[in-house]
Amino acid sequence: MHTIRIVLASLLLIAGCSSNKNAEGPLDESDRTPNDLSRMLPLKDRTVSNFRTESELGDGVLVLEYFRPRQDHAEIRLAGSVEHLRVSKERVARATGGTLLELPLLKDATFSGSFGTVTIQEVVQSITVPAGTFKGCLTTLEESKAPPKRATSVYCPDVGLVRYTIETFGEAESSSLFTELKYHGPRVDLTR
């Protein structure tokens, strides 16, 4: 159970989504070469993302809420926890350390993540998840050797995170969590 909490906390650290403007739409030149961090990780205020999850414990649902109290600050809320992010044109980083995504958004670019080195593996790819088909996406891989852990994230323009997989390897315990975006859109307040 401790490993699952670590995995969910890791997911919280790298998430970001907004509206689905890119799904199955035509590509323009900016979609072909991702170069705007705010498009790849928009963190739009009062947005909710719903992910389907698969792990050793079974299938489930993960809901993330995004808030932007200031232009240079974002919050991601997951099950009562809040992750604070510092946002600039060049980088989105955890307030407690580690970068989620940073420029340049080029294949083989590297930076320090929340638990290891992050490498941009692919740019300008298409992906289909339950929320739709997205174009102009990029994939990152974060790895650490001690403890052995690997996280793969796919970000798409004007959407943010659409797929996330984290795997931990160890002699005593190994685990994995696979998530795919099912829905994202404005947060609805049902108390009014």
Higher pLDDT, 152 or 21: 152
Mean pLDDT of 33-40: 79
Mean pLDDT of 158-178: 90
Please report the pLDDT score of residue 121 as a whole number: 97
Higher pLDDT, 110 or 33: 110
Q: Of the ranges 44-58, 63-77, 163-177, which one carries the lowest mean pLDDT score? A: 163-177
Task: Provide the whole-model pTM.
Answer: 0.81
The percent of residues in the chain predicted with pLDDT above 70, rounded, is 80
Handedness of CA 115, 112, 125, 47 (dihedral sign): positive
Q: Does position 85 have pLDDT exceeding 70, yes or no? A: yes
Mean pLDDT of 153-164: 95
Q: What angle do CA 110, 181, 56 make, to 5 degrees?
A: 85
Helix (H/G/I), strand (E/B), else coil: 99: strand
In which band, very low, low, confident or very high, does the pLDDT at 34 lie, cut at 50, 70 and 90?
low
Q: Does position 175 have pLDDT exceeding 60, yes or no? A: yes
What values do phi and psi take at 38, rounded to 5? -70, -20
Asked if 114 contacts 142 with a C-beta cutoff of 8 angstroms, the reply is yes
Please report the pLDDT score of residue 29 as a whole number: 41
